[in-house]
Amino acid sequence: MPAAISAAPAAVAVVSESNIAAVRAYLLGLQANIVSELERVGDEPFLTDEWTRAEGGGGLSRLIEGAQLFERAGVLFSHVKGQTLPPSATALRPEVAGRPWEAMGVSMVLHPRNPYIPTTHLNVRMFVAKAPAGSGQADVFWFGGGMDLTPYYVFEDDARHFHRVNQAALAPHDPSAYSRFKKWCDEYFFLKHRNETRGVGGIFFDDLSEPGFEQAFSLMRSVGDAFIPAYLPMVEKRRSQPFGQRERDFQAYRRGRYVEFNLVFDRGTLFGLQSGGRTESILLSMPPMAAWRYNWQAQADSPEAALSQYLIPRDWV
């Protein structure tokens, strides 16, 4: 049986340039594969926007806006460096405050046009807090990531499929990982001021460094590779389902909650903005249109009202 995987504390080790190169190569390949699959199902090309960061590093943004299948989609690769870690990265690990750092990852949000296809998010990343020169200390590294599903109209078979694929991806690494990472996702993607989850969950993990670099990296790869089989089947199944203005209005209303979470609670958004990240890339996760209505309530027994019963943690597998 695989060794149990813990998520704290971050491991202290020398992270070699070959380690960093291997993670970078994987992430660029993951981005290319996801974009290729999304172009295949959408039959529309993604734009490419390559950028550099003054303090160090840069990234490659692949995106589409106003398309027939995806109203907005961003599949973003970044590999950035800095001299001082921002507060969002040191709150849980004050011992690395002030260190130079290096971070890379693929982050993706898809906002389909059809309200019967869920919005989804994926992120896989590696972070290294570099040892100060001449200190005799070692680097501190950790991996993080996950994926979650935010439907407007819930199809239970779709949610179960999404969770089962995630469970299968984690099982070879640690049979207990899915239940722990699912719970972490339910707790992380929670809008405290609304007392509801962002959607039907998925998996989330952070600060993963045990039982070592290679095994932590392997788990991250399994999560990234699971996205296409977890999500695309429901796109194919729901893309032709007819909808009207009522469904689009409800989609816009629920997208407002997505905006609230990203701007108030999301650690990735906070880190990006606090570290002087590229604003256009950071905020590409926002839906192209959203709406807020004062004290609005869905009509009793309507399809829109049914969503509320799913905005609490529940078992899917």
Q: How many other C-beta atoms are found inside a 10 Å radius of the C-beta of residue 296?
A: 10
121 carries an active-site annotation:
yes
pLDDT more than 90, % of the chain: 74
CA distance 307 to 151: 8
pLDDT more than 70, % of the chain: 92
Give me the pLDDT at residue 1, please. 36
Give me the pLDDT at residue 11, please. 57
**What is the chain's mean pLDDT, rounded?**
91
Q: Does residue 1 sit within a domain?
A: no
**Stretch 234-245: mean pLDDT, rounded?**
97
Structural domain containing residue 91: 11-310
Q: Does residue 93 sit within a domain?
A: yes
Q: Does residue 231 sit within a domain?
A: yes
**Stretch 129-146: mean pLDDT, rounded?**
83
pLDDT of residue 10 exceeding 80, the answer is no
Q: Does residue 317 sit within a domain?
A: no
32-86 pLDDT tens trace: 999 999 999 999 999 999 999 888 899 999 999 999 999 999 999 999 988 877 6
pLDDT of residue 115 exceeding 70, the answer is yes
Using CA atoms, how far residue 221 sits from 22, 276, 288, in Å, is 11, 27, 30
The SS3 call for residue 265 is: coil
Q: Does residue 6 sit within a domain?
A: no
**Stretch 159-166: mean pLDDT, rounded?**
98
pLDDT of residue 116 exceeding 90, the answer is yes
Q: Does residue 315 sit within a domain?
A: no
CA distance 229 to 162: 8
In sequence order, which residues have a C-beta less than 8 Å from that of residue 316 and are 6 or more positions away?
A: 159, 160, 162, 163, 164, 200, 201
Q: Residue 203 is part of a domain; what is its CATH number?
A: 3.40.1500.10
Q: Does residue 4 sit within a domain?
A: no
Q: Which of 79, 111, 121, 161 is catalytic?
A: 121
In sequence order, which residues have a C-beta less than 8 Å from that of residue 258 and are 6 or more positions away?
A: 119, 150, 198, 286, 287, 290
169-221 pLDDT tens trace: 999 999 999 999 999 999 999 999 999 999 999 999 998 988 799 999 999 99
The structural domain count of the chain equals 1
